[in-house]
Structure 1
Amino acid sequence: MREKLSNYFSFVFEDELIDEIVQVGTYKKLRENELLVDLGDKMVGVPLLLEGAIKIVREDKKGDEILLYFLERGDTCASSFSSALSHRKCGIRAIAEKDSEIIFLPIAKLDEWLVKYKSWRNFVIDSFNIRLNEMMETIDTLAFMKMDERLYKYLMDRAQIMRETALTTTHQDIAYDLHTSRVVISRLLKQLENEGKIKLHRNKIEILEF
């Protein structure tokens, strides 16, 4: 675990902080589509993503989901962090988009590290800023983009997060993420294919303009 931490975080955290994370953190592997945290969960730790990608979604009163943002290697979940510090139940659902590796950091250390390590304080502030900007981008997308533009942006963002130009997914899964119907997604995907931006395969979408 220390090697993975050092590979990515040696230029982010002090060696002393990395040593503490190794001592108190809980290492966990997630399979693709495995649930990390769910709505209403009591947060006993905060995830630090070492490898993979995590999808963060919200759910409305009807049970419909909407995608908020993705986490990638080196990220933590600001929403989980906030819930942990305030001892509130989790307000998001986090699902592994691909096989992933995380370290759960205990709540008891979060406040202590904010005072003890400047690198940790900067990391947390940066994480909140990044997630806030992504949330604002999500709002702008919903308010100002047409569905075909939202769909193409979603595909490009996901390809970047997954570090793959061929996305394994279904039309229904995309519809869930974008809070629309499968019929609409299927029509718009075909439109994007006709425009030469993507190539459709069975349960896979290849991004041609990346």
Structure 2
Amino acid sequence: MHKALDQFTRKFEPELIDEINQLGQLKKYKTGKVLIDFGSYVKNIPLVLSGAIKVVREDAEGRELFLYFLGGGDTCAMSLTCCINQKKSEIKAVVEEDAGVMMIPLHYMDGWMKYSSWRQFVFSSYNQRFEEMLNAVDSLAFMKLDERLMNYLLDCKQSSGDFSIHKTHQQIAQDLNTSRVVVSRLLKKLVEEERIELHRNRIEIL
């Protein structure tokens, strides 16, 4: 994990790298671990070194909707917002694939804004997450469900770097806020269009 940290911090000033090494906590999390939950106060900012983390939103009826993935080199702009405003989290961050994360206590955030590389990193993270959230809104408003499903599978591929998606139909349905039956039907349609292959416990993107 230290190698991943070195790659992550290469963009930062040496003084900031020293502070991250001294003040942050290196953590390893298994798939399924909830790092940030709905309604909780965020006390640490996650800097993702390896693996993948899924960020979801919850509607008024308690249904979850997939927003975006965080991979190596990313942080969660929404958790930054919650920290800065000292408000309860409106998202849930769940480890999608075993992840290495550097947890940074909230009270160091303001002081690090003196570093130009940190300011650029934070603003870039806000911009990237904002674009991904706009894409999520656009997909809900303008895309048919089969297009949303294909985009979701491509997001999974990009976050993991693997053309094989190891998810059940039920897991996909939950992320897309639909039913397992609908997902299964649409996956079969994508097979007919030769865009994917279905195998036992995995989906292969062509």
TM-score, normalised with respect to structure 1: 0.95
What amino acid is aligned across from residue 56 of structure 1 in structure 2?
V
Distance in 2, matches of 1:197 and 1:2, equals 38
Matched pairs, number = 206
* Counterpart in the other structure of 1:124: 122
* Counterpart in the other structure of 2:203: 205
* Counterpart in the other structure of 1:81: 80
Q: Unpaired runs of 5+ in structure 1? A: none
* Counterpart in the other structure of 1:42: 41
What amino acid is aligned across from residue 70 of structure 1 in structure 2?
F
Q: Deviation string for 1:36-93 (max 9, x for gaps)?
A: 1101111111000000110000111211100011111100000100101111111110
Please report the RMSD computed on the Cα atoms of aligned residues, expressed in angstroms.
Answer: 1.0
Q: Sequence identity of aligned pairs in percent? A: 50
SS of alignment partner, residue 62 of structure 2: coil
Alignment of 1:123-202 (within 5 A): 123-202=121-200
What amino acid is aligned across from residue 112 of structure 2 in structure 1?
W
Distance in 2, matches of 1:8 and 1:34, equals 22
Distance in 2, matches of 1:154 and 1:31, equals 22
The CA deviation at 1:167 is 0.8
* Counterpart in the other structure of 2:61: 62
Distance in 2, matches of 1:106 and 1:112, equals 12
Distance in 2, matches of 1:57 and 1:99, equals 18
Distance in 1, matches of 2:91 and 2:134, equals 16
Is 1:8 aligned to residue 2 of structure 2?
Answer: no
Alignment of 1:97-112 (within 5 A): 97-112=96-111
